[in-house]
């Protein structure tokens, strides 16, 4: 994307987006939740995928078809799930059908998930570099959207962020403290997109909020890149054990009432994020939409 295209995408995204990561549900439930989030004023709506199950581009087509203005993004499209030419082609078709409304986040997943799919984990940096080159090689065979879509790399560490700067349109880090956002912006420079995902827990009681945060397996998954990124920020090993110390939980999760969560979002924006995506866990899509509607006055 050109500097102008990045600026236009920043304007379209606005301050805050919402993430819907709920497992399998009927398409009509996704449509209803997407419309409620759009009506609440959020600038973007993101979904993810495993290898198998909900396929991210099919899911994005449902969300884009159900809404009118909101940007829909992959957070992330798993590069182990498809050939790079298929990634480029699918994103190009959606961007052509819904001009200015697609954001493509690409990620390398984690060793445990890749190996469960029957594939062999390899160097994530080399894999991402080769994959982005493969996407570039497929551009000529894909549709040419009227409005270019941003290609973002799910990047936590400095080397992957270097790829996001040099071979993509920006970075898409998740579940990191504010100081990580500040360092990421410094590495990317001013002309790349920085979209930050933050985990949100709408609970003012500290003990309950921290207990809920520790149920999220960010730090316990074998080979977790989140553990490695927090080590690089200076957090000691003992702080990263057993779901994380109070300090780690408080740094990585935005918990509290609506005003407290709004302050954390603003802290990431002040640290250099272009756009912050709130990730509020909920048991189903309707409950997710309820949470985002409740948070909207403080966030958007």
Q: Measuring CA to CA, which residue among 208, 216, 205, 223 is closest to residue 243?
A: 216
Q: Is the pTM of this model over 0.75?
A: yes
Quick one: pLDDT at residue 7? Answer: 86
Quick one: pLDDT at residue 77? Answer: 96
Compute the half-sphere exposure of residue 200: CA atoms within 13 Å on the CB side of its CA.
33
Q: Which residues of the chain have pLDDT under 70?
A: none
Cβ contact 188:161 at 8 Å: yes
To the nearest 10°, the Cα dihedral for 106, 110, 112, 113?
Answer: -20
> How is the chain split into domains, by residue range?
1-207+255-298
CB environment 123-150: b (16+ within 10 A), e (fewer): ebeebbbebbebbeebeeebeebebbbb
Q: Measuring CA to CA, which residue among 32, 155, 138, 34 is closest to residue 93?
A: 138
Quick one: pLDDT at residue 5? Answer: 79
User: How many other β-carbons are positioned within 10 Å of the β-carbon of residue 26?
Assistant: 9
Quick one: pLDDT at residue 3? Answer: 79
Model pLDDT for residues 48-62, shown as the tens digit of each residue: 998 888 899 999 999
Q: 1-207+255-298 domain in CATH 3.20.20.30? A: yes
Cα torsion 32, 18, 200, 223: sign: positive
Quick one: pLDDT at residue 247? Answer: 97
Quick one: pLDDT at residue 223? Answer: 79
User: How many other β-carbons are positioned within 10 Å of the β-carbon of residue 56?
Assistant: 25
């Amino acid at each position: 994307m050109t500097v102008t295209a990045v600026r236009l995408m920043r304007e379209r995204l606005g301050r805050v987006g919402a993430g819907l990561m709920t497992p399998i549900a009927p398409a009509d439930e996704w449509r209803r939740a997407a419309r409620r989030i759009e009506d609440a004023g959020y600038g973007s709506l993101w979904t993810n995928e495993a290898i198998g199950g909900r396929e991210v581009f099919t899911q994005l087509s449902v969300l884009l078809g159900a809404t009118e203005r909101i940007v829909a993004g992959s957070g992330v499209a798993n590069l182990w799930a498809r050939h790079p030419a298929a990634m480029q082609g699918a994103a190009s078709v959606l961007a052509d059908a819904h001009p200015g409304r697609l954001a493509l986040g690409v990620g390398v997943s984690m060793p445990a998930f890749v190996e469960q799919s029957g594939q062999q984990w390899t160097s994530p940096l080399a894999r991402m570099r080769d994959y982005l080159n493969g996407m570039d090689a497929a551009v000529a065979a894909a549709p040419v959207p009227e409005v270019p879509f941003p290609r973002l790399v799910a990047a936590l560490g400095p080397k992957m962020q270097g790829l996001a700067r040099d071979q993509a349109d920006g970075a898409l880090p998740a579940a990191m403290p504010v100081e990580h956002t500040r360092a990421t912006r410094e590495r990317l420079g001013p002309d790349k997109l920085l979209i930050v995902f933050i985990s949100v827990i709408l609970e003012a009681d500290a003990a309950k909020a921290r207990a809920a945060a520790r149920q999220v397996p960010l730090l316990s998954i074998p080979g977790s890149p989140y553990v490695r990124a927090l080590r690089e920020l200076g957090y000691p090993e003992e702080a990263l054990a057993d779901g994380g110390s109070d300090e780690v939980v408080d740094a990585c999760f935005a918990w509290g009432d609506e005003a407290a969560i709004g302050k954390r979002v603003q802290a990431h924006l002040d640290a250099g994020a272009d756009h912050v995506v709130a990730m509020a866990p909920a048991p189903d899509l309707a409950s997710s939409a309820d949470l985002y509607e409740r948070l909207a006055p403080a966030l958007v």
